[in-house]
Amino acid sequence: MAASLALVIYAVALAAAGINDLVRYEIPNALCLALVGAFALYAPSLPLTVLVSHVAAGLAVLAVTALGFAVGLMGGGDAKLLTATSLWMGWGELLPFILLTALAGGLIALILLVLRRLLASRNRAGSWFGRLMAPDSGVPYGLAIAAAGLALISRLGVAEMSRAAG
């Protein structure tokens, strides 16, 4: 029951983070904390070796994203969300998650590039969409992280648990 609740929290928190980043260019700390807290609910359902893999993956991504944030390569919200979601992925799903995040981010960037050119002359000042379409706005990468994390929800822990059992 706790594992199922944790997965629901995971899905809701990721979706909310993606939408928040799209609309406000902000990922609330509470959503990243909800992801970590939900993982704490989920963790007892994992074998110890799998749990260690998840924690190690989360710590490795934390180190890399902290460095990326420190040198200005990524925003703090993106770093926190990527780290919290990587905790759920473990080593087994980390590479597919990172690749899917990069692909989703590239697709979002391409869509924004096209839309910003097509809609450049329209005045949407004050709206979230106007801000999103502004030529100097960035890419809401939290949306890509959330999309990748949600796409992989059915694979969480499954591959590693089968390897641990076999």
pLDDT digits (tens, 9 = 90+) for 34-75: 999 999 999 999 999 999 999 999 999 999 999 999 999 999
The boundaries of the domain holding residue 137 are 2-165
What average pLDDT does range 9-26 have in this prediction?
96
**Predicted confidence band of residue 123 (pLDDT cuts 50, 70, 90):** low
Task: Judge whether 7 and 42 are in contact, CB under 8 Å.
Answer: yes
pTM of the predicted structure, to 2 decimals: 0.90
What is the structure's pLDDT at 15? 98
Residue 158 has pLDDT above 80, yes or no: no
**Under 8 Å CB-to-CB from 27, ≥6 apart: which residues?**
17, 20, 21, 77, 78, 80, 81, 142
pLDDT at 129: 86
> How many structural domains compose the chain?
1
Both structure tokens of 20: 């928040």
d(CA 35, CA 42): 10
Residue 110 pLDDT greater than 90, yes or no: yes
- Model confidence at 160: pLDDT above 50: no
For residue 123, give the DSSP letter.
-
